[in-house]
Chains A and B, each alone.
Chain A
């Protein structure tokens, strides 16, 4: 996850890069996946509205919008899909501010 570097309350840009493992040494970027994000405040059990799922902008970068309604500890759940099938499990980033 490259962004948000300086998360704040409100709407934030979120940018992720995705690299597929070709060999041990070779991790080419891949723009053919779809990514869904679901922010969540684990301690309160709520999420936020109007998030925009990151979409590919080339070179393995995916850009979208993530909303935080308050300060505190947030978890951004990420679901990666290829041709409609889930390829990630229990993937999340923790954002605290």
Chain B
């Protein structure tokens, strides 16, 4: 038996759900617990080995972990806060939630995906659902990613436990301090965890420093659990995340402050019927900063764009707050059927402003120029989700689910109405719409070790605020100012997926493929009648429904344990996308492989990783794309754990990008090289 814990669950590509709790499509098939969990129990378990490679040292932000998840790619604008993309879908096409709670970034330029507010220290697991089948927390077409927050370690032999760690990475002279502590006694449990990170500009593989790649952040999460009896419990979470001075080398500006606060209260009752009810509030404050940038930076680098000698500064604050609640019931209403009902409601309030201050050398400043890039809007969504799972026979299980969302948008800003009058719109203050989703999946067990899962589904999704009411949002990737379309139609998708899973004692293979056929695909279409606003913009694009688009994805995961102490893990992901049958969908990653070899014996472990990607030649130059060359990168890491009486000292050492390769990935904006060789060291003391 392998030494580590392994719970491989290939419930099919439609639900790469990863824990016992998030049992959405069921554990009919393989749930194998090979051994006790040693390090932080439940994590993306089918990626457990890869994740463990990164997790014990917590060097990295969540981004490094996400990059190694099935079907997941990351859009990179800086060293921090990478934006998740799932099989070619991102932003408003994905539901990204925390314990089922809705949260929306406050940046008009997508500098703050919700994943940037969660750290590996406070993450318990990640549940991913692909395609339209990710609609449990809201109708959507591209899938869902739910991150659940860490809970106090109830396995701790002593009531009080704590740990303190320090990590250093040479490439960015980055310091990482983290701590966890907890106390559990009978009915009470309390936990706290925190991280502080400070990274300077990193060096790439050509020994050049990448300017504006620094960041600094603090994250603190605390949880309190009260369990009056064995079947019910009350839980409260508080999370604070604050980042300062975050550089975005691929964008014309940086972030001065990105601050998020989250409060959640949950009541859970288990038993034959399970009940979860939750209330939450979160708020994000985002302030961009261009004071460190040369305002001529873009002009000097772009010959085709008009030249001017000006000095301009912009204030661009954004705010997003969400208040919500949900209630979920899971009822096994007979021996063969299980019903899940979830009712939820949330209200989000978002606003983003821009004030430009212009001065010419030797002149007094001009009057400020003000606009609302996201005019203040309130969105209320009430949804109902119903799912039934039927075990037809020992070999076949069927799951049917549906969701309906009633959506009301209230434009609170009169200024926003005035702004849109320049495009000849007379905007209604209120707009309501209904979106829906319906999915069916079948899991069939062919024999003892082989099974098959197929899913077919439909969903539509609400346009995001920027797609409806965005006002001159500069997109540094294609160089256009984007303008919303207040009456844009919902995006619709028909989804189909098929997955095979092989599970034998020494080898596990999961191969999945999915197709999405999208109608009314939302993208920016050039409008030559609207002049651009930013100096460096090439023109203006208006969010428009394109008749059709399609994506295809294939993912492979393989885990092989030839010996007790050795395991091999391979992850391959491939996606392609077309718009209107012809052009390439922009920002689609090429084939990527991650291969890991791990050796673990007693207190010692060693891992070697290779990450490689093919070139991407299927590009869309109209949308700012360039061909991206192939690359390959090698990483190693080893760890040793000392035990001194009741305390444990973990030490690890690693090198990423051993051969100091200069490379970037296709989804990296600005084709800016990734970090070069980095020596990493980590020490953790646990008591």
Contacts and interface: CB of A to CB of B under 8 A. Distances in A.
B415 A9 contact: yes
Given A43-B358, A45-B308, A72 B418 contact: no
A48 interface: yes
Contacts of A44: 312, 356, 358, 369, 533, 535
Contact of B529 (A11, A49, A96): A49
Contact of A41 (B360, B369, B417, B421): B369
A48 B531 contact: yes
B305 to A, nearest CB: 11
B391 interface: no
A90 interface: no
Contacts of B370: 70-72
B673 to A, nearest CB: 33
B367 A73 contact: yes
Interface string A12-51: 0000000000000000000000000000010111111110
B310 interface: yes
Nearest to B369: A72
A10 B366 contact: no
A67 B310 CA distance: 24
Most chain-A CB neighbours within 10 Å: which of B366, B370, B417? B366
Nearest to A50: B424
A46 B532 contact: yes
A94 B422 CA distance: 19
A33 to B, nearest CB: 26
A62 interface: no
A49 B14 CA distance: 46
B300 to A, nearest CB: 16
B422 A72 contact: no
Nearest to B370: A71
Most chain-B CB neighbours within 10 Å: which of A11, A67, A68? A11
Interface in B158-195: none
A46 B369 CA distance: 13
A59 interface: no
A17 B368 CA distance: 30
Given A10-B418, A45-B308, A72 B533 contact: no
11 contacts: A8-B418, A11-B424, A44-B312, A45-B535, A47-B531, A49-B531, A68-B422, A69-B471, A70-B370, A71-B370, A73-B366
Contact of A43 (B366, B423, B471, B530): B366
Nearest to A68: B422
Contact of B421 (A10, A43, A96): A10
A23 to B, nearest CB: 41
Interface string B502-536: 00000000000000000000000000011111010
A69 B360 CA distance: 21
Given A8-B418, A48-B422, A50-B422, A71 B358 contact: no
Contacts of A43: 310, 358, 360, 366, 369
B569 interface: no
B544 to A, nearest CB: 16
A38 to B, nearest CB: 10
B554 to A, nearest CB: 44
A44 B306 CA distance: 11
Contacts of A70: 356, 369-371, 533
Interface of B: 306, 308, 310, 312, 356, 358, 360, 366-371, 415, 417-424, 471-472, 529-533, 535
Given A46-B532, A50-B423, A72 B367 contact: yes
Closest 3 CB pairs of A and B: A10-B418, A72-B369, A67-B422
A46 B533 contact: yes
B529 A69 contact: no
Given A49-B530, A71-B370, A72-B369, 13 more contacts: A9-B419, A10-B417, A10-B419, A10-B420, A11-B424, A43-B369, A44-B533, A48-B531, A49-B531, A69-B422, A70-B371, A72-B356, A73-B367
A72 B306 contact: no
Given A46-B531, A46-B533, A11 B421 contact: yes
Contacts of B360: 43
A76 to B, nearest CB: 14
Given A43-B310, A45-B306, A46-B533, A10 B422 contact: yes
A68 B367 CA distance: 15
A15 to B, nearest CB: 18
Nearest to A47: B531
B369 A9 contact: no
Contact of B368 (A11, A50, A69, A71): A71
A47 B422 CA distance: 11
A45 B308 CA distance: 9
Contacts of A69: 371, 419, 422, 471-472, 533
Contacts of B368: 71-72
B366 A72 contact: yes
A97 to B, nearest CB: 8
A91 B191 CA distance: 71
Most chain-A CB neighbours within 10 Å: which of B369, B417, B419, B529? B369
Contacts of A73: 366-367
A68 to B, nearest CB: 7
Nearest to B527: A49
A43 B306 CA distance: 13
A70 B529 CA distance: 18
Contacts of B310: 43
Contacts of A45: 306, 308, 535
A11 B421 CA distance: 6
A10 B415 CA distance: 8
A85 B353 CA distance: 43
A44 B423 CA distance: 20
Contact of A96 (B306, B358, B367, B535): B367
Nearest to A97: B367
B351 to A, nearest CB: 16
A64 B360 CA distance: 32
Contacts of B312: 44
